[in-house]
Amino acid sequence: MPRVADHDARRRQIADAVIGLVAGSGLDAATVAHVAKQAGVSVGLVQHYFTSKDDLLLFAYQQVTADVGERVAGHITQGEARKGTISDVVFASMLELLPIDDRRRGECRVMRAFLGRSVDNATLAAVASATSQRIHRELATAVHNGKECGEVESDADVDMSALRIAALVDGLAGQLYQAPGRAVGVRALPDAAEAVLEACLNGIFTGECRQYR
């Protein structure tokens, strides 16, 4: 058991090095030699765990998505504890995908580097597709649950609503990453992005939650 824990810790250590390098300097910086130096391990150890740069990037991407998933799970737990609305939970969860601070900006860069690499790699493309489908399913479940508790109209199209949210968040993430300091009218872009997301959710979650009555 300790060996398994050590194995996982080493892989996480190396993944953190990849994430740090990609987030700070881009994919080209994540060479095996640079990753080893950043992680404080030997090149041989990196090569022991990961056979190629794509393997390194895949694991880093999976680690980033797992970290985001843990934070989303935390929002769900907190929302249930305070008897919050599904809309509020979805809003907080989608903010985790927007590069509005240094951590999320770094994660966004890793995700985009992975997506770019996946264009010419079938294995990476399959993982990217699975991640996209998972996000869609989770959003569709949230909308479906909203229908059950009264927050969403009974005739709402669950899949179309999920697609609407996911597409909006993806577009906002791109704009925030490219020009985080841009102003939109009198608003800073991050504030404007949150307002646009909130307006989208208000158009889907139009009712009042009956769950805690």
What is the full per-residue pLDDT of the chain (213 aa) written as tens digits?
Answer: 445 567 788 888 998 998 899 888 888 888 899 999 999 999 999 998 888 888 888 888 998 999 999 999 999 999 989 989 999 999 999 999 999 999 999 999 999 999 999 999 999 999 999 999 999 999 999 999 999 999 999 999 999 999 999 999 999 999 999 998 999 999 999 999 999 999 999 999 999 988 776
The answer to whether residue 88 is domain-embedded is: yes
pTM assigned to the model: 0.89
Report yes or no on 11 lying in a domain. Answer: no
Structurally, the chain folds into a number of domains equal to 1
**Residue-level pLDDT at 5:** 61
- Domain of 152 in residue numbering reads as 83-204
Burial (CB < 10 A; 0-12, 13-18, 19+), residue 208, is exposed
Tell me whether residue 73 is in a domain.
no
Does some domain include residue 29? Answer: no
Six token digits for residue 129 = 């597709």
Q: Cα–chain-centroid distance for residue 50?
A: 23
Which residues neighbour 50 within 8 Å (Cβ) at sequence distance 6 or greater? 14, 56, 59
Specify if 15 maps to a domain.
no
- Kindly state whether residue 107 falls inside one of the protein's structural domains: yes
Q: Which residues are CB-contacts of 188 (< 8 A; sequence separation ≥ 6)?
A: 181, 182
CATH number, residue 123 = 1.10.357.10
